[in-house]
Structures are given as C-alpha cells and as structure tokens.
Amino acid sequence: MARRARRPGLPRAVPPAYVPTMTWTDRLAPSLDDFAALARKAFDALPADFRRQTGDVVFRIDDFAADEVLDDLGIEDPFELTGLYQGVDLGRRSILDPSPQPSMVFLYRRPILDEWCERGDVTLGELIAHVLVHEIGHHFGLSDDDIHRIEDDA
C-alpha cells in the first residue's frame, strides 16, 4: 500500500529555471481515463522481463479508496492512501491453493493529484509510475519497508 508519509527516491522532474510559463486557463484536471493511460504508459515502459513476471494484474483507477478499505487499514484521511495492492502475492501462492481472485493494483487519483501538487518537483507521470511500481512490489511479496529500502539504495 502506498501511503504519502514516505516518498523518497523520486527524481526531480525539471529544474525550476527550465519550466516554461504555462497557461492553465484551458486545462482540465486529469480524468480517471487520463490516469489509466498514464499508468498503462508507465507499465509498458518497464522492462519486458518485469512485465512478464508481473503476470495478469488488473490495474484500476478510482478517485479514492473505498471507505471499507480505509477502515480496514485504519486510515482516517482518504488523501493518505495513493495506491493499494489487493491479492495474494506471488511468494505466497501455491498450485495446491484454489484459484485466487485476480490480483489488483489500485491507484487513487485524488490523493495522487494532491501529492503531485504539494510536491511540485516531479511530473504527474513520474508519480503515477512510482506508485504503480510500489504496488507491483507488493505483488512480488515485498513489504513497504523492503520497497523503501530499495528506493533509498537506488
């Protein structure tokens, strides 16, 4: 699960001196479909071996996590959860077990947008890719601590 409290390891997107002046008067906030396209682009950019080992994971974009999910995780502020892996990770699967539900990676649009605005030092695509890879890490059986250790060492 990706929580906003720790976000080390993301590179700075563009030095502020090089950011062109933008006119936001004609821009809309990215939709759920825009997020899905950015997540697909991020996944497609991963090494082929990594994608192949990921297998059949369903990616889903929602504005926020469901209230039941937040309650189960003990999270009061829905903006604290940017992503979630739901399923049996690859390390705990067995051919003797009944067929599990499909593994799912949830990306939560509003919390990601909020973090992106607060940070101001990464592109939206980079942040979506980061949350996506974090959740895929859980699919491979990595804990939050494992993932943060890898990010710190990168």
Q: Which domains does the chain have, with CATH numbers?
A: 30-91+100-153 (3.30.2010.20)
pTM of model > 0.85? no
At residue 82, what are phi and psi to the nearest 5 degrees?
A: -95, -20
**How confident is the prediction for the chain on average, in pLDDT?**
83
Residue 6 in this model has a pLDDT that exceeds 50:
no
C-alpha to C-alpha distance for 2 and 97, rounded to whole angstroms: 28
Q: How far apart are CA 10 and CA 136, in angstroms?
A: 16
- Are 42 and 105 a contacting pair, CB within 8 Å? no
Q: Find, among 135, 154, 116, 150, the residue nearest to 42 by Cα.
A: 135
| 34-90 residue pLDDT tens | 999 999 999 999 889 888 888 888 999 999 999 999 999 999 999 999 999 988 776
Cβ atoms of residues 59 and 107 within 8 Å = yes
